[in-house]
Amino acid sequence: MKLDTKKKRIWFVIWCAWSIGWLVAYIIGGFYVLRDCKLHLSELMACEYDFKFGGFIFFALIIPLILLSASLVISKIKSWISNGA
């Protein structure tokens, strides 16, 4: 991926912030679930760290890729309608 324009660099920074934000949210969420389990259910079952890797991949990678694809398609359609090319 070339980051040769200002717009591409801005979107790259937004994507990095989005991914890091979701990573932090999932790590903190896993520790929250672990703490909650230890407080309430420790005598009933064994508690373990609950990091949902599939959910992280979905929110950090899949959704941004879908949004990027949609914006590219809309841009192509707009340019096709405007310029006929």
The full DSSP string for 32-66 is HHHHHHHHHSTTTS-------HHHHHIIIIIHHHH
Is there a domain that residue 82 lies in?
no
Is there a domain that residue 6 lies in?
no
Is there a domain that residue 83 lies in?
no
Interval 33-43 mean pLDDT: 69
Please, which residues have CB within 8 angstroms of residue 52's CB and are 6 or more apart in sequence? 26, 30
Is there a domain that residue 7 lies in?
no
Higher model confidence: residue 1 or residue 78? 78
Is there a domain that residue 36 lies in?
yes
Quick check: 85 pLDDT over 60?
A: no
Q: What pLDDT score does 42 carry?
A: 57
Domain count, the chain: 1
Range of the domain at 29: 18-76
Is there a domain that residue 10 lies in?
no
